[in-house]
């Protein structure tokens, strides 16, 4: 069984409620049908009920099992508006402005559903930029306790099973933070370890990557990674980690034993935390192309409750898969 199939099986057992706010996109409507058919989640669509049903019929999507909510007719809309005013009061948001946002911005409305427990997670981005999705999530849902950084991870599934755990290895951050500082790197490590555990079912072994292994080079960029490792030690985290180390020392057992003898992680890492976005993004794309690996994600992490962002070029299958991943992020 492949990774996505195993994630879907796990999602079926939990059957969470996931919001799809971009109901104007026919790919979303078709994905809603797929999710309902596969029974990987309950689905909430946001918008005018008559319009959504007409659009679904026009594109051949059978969505009778979905819940459709029109914010303008929602019986709890005042509660949602009040909550947004409270959340943004330091920014001077008026109730009139909050009302406009809650009744016209489906991503904000959907995130408020998640915040207040009326849904478990949200998937959006097929019809909007990443910045819009993350803005709604950060403003409404906020970050997880003890984490101040929203980041992302790709779950890499390699064909030969040689590295990580039977070919499964997580790369972070590859999509969100261009130049993370040491505190942010520590946050990324914690969040990616949580993703590895909750979504993939791995026992995380986190390598903090650099061009140096255990002091083999001296440079401020190395110092940053070393400081991130120190912060993880201070936090007394509940997963294995080590660094700084080069990529080969992290994933090749013989090299790890030579460059970092005695390390619990060297040569056996299944989570790679890259020192910056350039290296992470380049790294995952090279592995994807050179090794023919499947890159699942990016999975957004660090939020108090799960919200995930789609590429605007996504397929129906991509949306359905990300719904299942989102459902398994929930503890």
Q: How confident is the model at residue 161 (pLDDT cuts 50, 70, 90)?
A: confident
**Vertex 301: Cα angle to 130 and 142 (nearest 5):** 80
* CA distances to 129, 168, 179, 293 from 209, in Å: 30, 17, 14, 20
The pLDDT value recorded for residue 311 is 86
* Number of Cβ atoms within 10 Å of the Cβ of 313: 7
On the question of pLDDT at 1 being above 70, the answer is no
Beta carbons of 273 and 185 less than 8 angstroms apart: yes
Distance, CA of 213 to CA of 74 (rounded, Å): 56
Q: Quick check: 16 pLDDT over 70? A: yes
Q: What is the pLDDT of residue 322?
A: 95
- What percent of the chain has a predicted confidence (pLDDT) above 70? 99
Q: Is the pLDDT of residue 248 over 90?
A: yes
Residue 160's pLDDT is: 84
| Residue 330 CB-density burial (10 A; 0-12 exposed, 13-18 middle, 19+ buried) | middle
Q: DSSP alpha helices (H): ranges in the chain? A: 3-14, 26-38, 49-59, 77-87, 95-104, 106-115, 130-140, 182-195, 220-235, 247-251, 253-259, 277-290, 316-328
Distance separating alpha carbons of residues 308 and 285, to the nearest angstrom: 20
Q: Report residue 2's pLDDT band, with 50, 70 and 90 as the boundaries.
A: confident
pTM score: 0.89
Q: What is the pLDDT of residues 249-258, one digit of tens each?
A: 999 999 999 9
Beta bridge partner(s), residue 73: none
Give per-residue pLDDT as tens, 227-238.
999 999 999 999
pLDDT digits (tens, 9 = 90+) for 57-109: 999 999 999 999 999 999 999 999 999 999 999 999 999 999 999 999 999 99
In whole angstroms, give the CA distance from residue 116 to residue 112: 6
Backbone region of residue 218 per phi and psi (left: phi > 0; alpha: psi in -120 to 50; beta: other values) = beta
CA 280 vs CA 127, 204, 211, 285, 296: distances in Å = 26, 18, 13, 9, 14
Give the model's pLDDT for residue 312: 87
Rounded mean pLDDT, 301-316 = 93
106-131: per-residue pLDDT in tens? 999 999 999 999 999 999 999 999 88
């Amino acid at each position: 069984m492949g990774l996505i199939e195993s994630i879907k099986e796990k999602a079926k057992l939990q059957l969470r409620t996931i919001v799809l706010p971009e109901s104007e996109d026919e790919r979303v409507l078709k994905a809603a049908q797929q999710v309902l058919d596969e029974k990987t989640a309950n689905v909430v669509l946001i918008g005018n009920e008559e319009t959504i049903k007409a659009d679904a019929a026009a594109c051949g999507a059978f969505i009778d099992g979905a819940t459709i909510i029109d914010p303008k007719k929602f019986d709890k809309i005042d509660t949602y508006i009040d909550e947004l005013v409270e959340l943004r009061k330091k920014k001077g948001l008026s109730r009139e402005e909050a009302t406009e946002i809650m009744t016209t911005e489906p991503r904000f409305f959907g995130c408020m559903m998640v915040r207040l427990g009326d849904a478990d997670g949200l998937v959006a981005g097929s019809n909007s930029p990443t910045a819009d999705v993350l803005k709604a999530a950060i403003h409404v849902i906020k970050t997880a306790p003890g984490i101040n950084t929203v980041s992302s991870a790709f779950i890499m599934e390699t064909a030969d099973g040689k590295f990580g755990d039977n070919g499964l290895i997580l790369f972070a951050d590859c999509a969100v933070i261009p130049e993370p500082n040491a505190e942010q790197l520590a946050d990324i490590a914690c969040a990616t370890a949580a993703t590895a555990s909750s979504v993939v079912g791995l026992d995380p072994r986190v390598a903090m990557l650099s061009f140096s292994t255990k002091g083999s080079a001296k440079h401020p960029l190395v110092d940053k990674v070393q400081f991130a490792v120190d912060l993880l030690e201070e936090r007394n985290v509940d997963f294995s980690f080590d660094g700084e180390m080069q990529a080969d020392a992290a994933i090749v057992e013989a090299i790890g034993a030579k460059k970092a003898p005695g390390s619990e992680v060297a040569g056996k890492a299944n989570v790679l935390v890259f020192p910056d976005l350039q290296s992470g993004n380049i790294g995952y794309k090279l592995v994807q192309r050179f090794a023919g690996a499947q890159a699942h994600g990016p999975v957004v992490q660090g939020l108090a409750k799960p919200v995930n962002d789609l590429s605007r070029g996504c397929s129906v299958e991509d949306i359905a898969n990300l719904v299942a991943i989102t459902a398994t992020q929930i503890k």
